[in-house]
Protein backbone atom coordinates (compact mmCIF):
# COMPACT_ATOMS: atom_id res chain seq x y z
CA UNK A 1 0.00 0.00 0.00
CA UNK A 2 1.04 3.59 -0.59
CA UNK A 3 0.58 4.50 3.09
CA UNK A 4 3.73 5.45 4.98
CA UNK A 5 4.38 6.32 8.62
CA UNK A 6 6.34 9.55 8.48
CA UNK A 7 8.94 10.67 10.97
CA UNK A 8 11.68 13.26 11.27
CA UNK A 9 14.11 10.94 9.45
CA UNK A 10 12.07 10.08 6.34
CA UNK A 11 9.81 13.12 5.97
CA UNK A 12 11.95 15.22 3.61
CA UNK A 13 12.79 12.33 1.30
CA UNK A 14 9.13 11.32 1.02
CA UNK A 15 7.66 14.77 0.34
CA UNK A 16 10.41 15.67 -2.12
CA UNK A 17 9.53 12.80 -4.44
CA UNK A 18 7.88 13.61 -7.74
CA UNK A 19 4.12 13.50 -7.52
CA UNK A 20 1.47 14.05 -4.90
CA UNK A 21 2.00 13.31 -1.22
CA UNK A 22 -0.86 13.71 1.26
CA UNK A 23 -0.04 13.79 4.96
CA UNK A 24 -2.45 13.20 7.83
CA UNK A 25 -1.25 14.62 11.16
CA UNK A 26 -3.06 12.72 13.91
CA UNK A 27 -3.00 11.53 17.51
CA UNK A 28 -4.40 8.39 19.14
CA UNK A 29 -6.47 10.38 21.66
CA UNK A 30 -8.17 12.50 18.96
CA UNK A 31 -11.68 11.26 18.11
CA UNK A 32 -11.83 13.27 14.85
CA UNK A 33 -8.51 11.70 13.86
CA UNK A 34 -9.92 8.22 14.51
CA UNK A 35 -12.97 9.04 12.37
CA UNK A 36 -10.83 10.45 9.56
CA UNK A 37 -8.33 7.56 9.43
CA UNK A 38 -10.57 5.10 7.48
CA UNK A 39 -11.45 7.85 4.98
CA UNK A 40 -7.75 8.65 4.51
CA UNK A 41 -6.89 4.95 4.09
CA UNK A 42 -9.74 4.35 1.62
CA UNK A 43 -8.70 7.38 -0.41
CA UNK A 44 -5.12 6.09 -0.42
CA UNK A 45 -6.37 2.82 -1.89
CA UNK A 46 -8.34 4.75 -4.54
CA UNK A 47 -5.28 6.78 -5.58
CA UNK A 48 -2.48 4.18 -5.72
CA UNK A 49 -0.12 6.40 -7.74
CA UNK A 50 0.04 8.98 -4.93
CA UNK A 51 1.79 8.69 -1.60
CA UNK A 52 -0.13 8.98 1.65
CA UNK A 53 1.75 9.57 4.87
CA UNK A 54 0.74 9.70 8.49
CA UNK A 55 2.46 11.64 11.26
CA UNK A 56 1.76 10.57 14.83
CA UNK A 57 1.88 13.98 16.50
CA UNK A 58 2.50 12.46 19.93
CA UNK A 59 5.70 10.67 18.92
CA UNK A 60 6.97 13.10 16.26
CA UNK A 61 6.98 16.31 18.27
CA UNK A 62 10.07 17.75 16.53
CA UNK A 63 8.48 17.24 13.10
CA UNK A 64 5.18 18.70 14.30
CA UNK A 65 7.04 21.75 15.59
CA UNK A 66 8.97 22.11 12.32
CA UNK A 67 5.71 21.96 10.33
CA UNK A 68 3.96 24.34 12.77
CA UNK A 69 1.04 21.97 13.28
CA UNK A 70 -1.24 23.53 15.89
CA UNK A 71 -4.46 21.51 15.54
CA UNK A 72 -5.26 17.93 14.65
CA UNK A 73 -6.21 16.40 12.46
CA UNK A 74 -4.32 18.52 9.92
CA UNK A 75 -4.02 17.60 6.26
CA UNK A 76 -0.96 18.57 4.24
CA UNK A 77 -0.60 18.13 0.49
CA UNK A 78 2.68 18.35 -1.39
CA UNK A 79 3.29 18.02 -5.10
CA UNK A 80 6.83 17.71 -6.41
CA UNK A 81 8.11 18.82 -3.00
CA UNK A 82 5.99 21.99 -2.88
CA UNK A 83 3.38 22.38 -0.16
CA UNK A 84 0.11 23.25 -1.86
CA UNK A 85 -2.35 22.72 0.97
CA UNK A 86 -2.30 22.82 4.77
CA UNK A 87 -5.54 22.83 6.69
CA UNK A 88 -6.74 21.46 9.99
CA UNK A 89 -10.02 19.61 10.12
CA UNK A 90 -11.90 16.49 9.21
CA UNK A 91 -12.51 15.93 5.48
CA UNK A 92 -15.21 13.82 3.89
CA UNK A 93 -14.19 11.33 1.22
CA UNK A 94 -15.64 13.56 -1.52
CA UNK A 95 -13.80 16.64 -0.25
CA UNK A 96 -10.52 14.76 0.06
CA UNK A 97 -10.84 13.44 -3.49
CA UNK A 98 -11.66 16.97 -4.71
CA UNK A 99 -8.51 18.33 -3.04
CA UNK A 100 -6.44 15.63 -4.77
CA UNK A 101 -8.01 16.25 -8.18
CA UNK A 102 -7.37 19.99 -7.87
CA UNK A 103 -3.72 19.28 -7.07
CA UNK A 104 -3.49 16.88 -10.03
CA UNK A 105 -4.82 19.53 -12.41
CA UNK A 106 -2.34 22.25 -11.43
CA UNK A 107 0.31 23.34 -13.90
CA UNK A 108 3.37 23.00 -11.69
CA UNK A 109 5.50 25.14 -14.01
CA UNK A 110 3.13 28.02 -13.28
CA UNK A 111 3.22 27.23 -9.54
CA UNK A 112 7.03 27.27 -9.54
CA UNK A 113 7.08 30.51 -11.57
CA UNK A 114 4.65 32.12 -9.11
CA UNK A 115 6.78 31.03 -6.16
CA UNK A 116 9.87 32.49 -7.82
CA UNK A 117 8.12 35.80 -8.51
CA UNK A 118 7.07 35.99 -4.85
CA UNK A 119 10.70 35.63 -3.78
CA UNK A 120 11.73 38.62 -5.94
Active site residue 25: no
Catalytic residue among 15, 25, 30, 99: 30
Active site residue 30: yes
| Cβ neighbours around 62 below 10 Å, total | 10
DSSP secondary structure letters along 95-110: HHHHHHHHHHHS-HHH
Catalytic residue among 25, 33, 44, 75: 33
Q: Annotated catalytic sites, by residue?
A: 30, 33
Amino acid sequence: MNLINLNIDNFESVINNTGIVLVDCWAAWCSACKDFKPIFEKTAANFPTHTFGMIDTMTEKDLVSLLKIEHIPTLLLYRDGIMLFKQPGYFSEDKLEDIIKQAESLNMDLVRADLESQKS
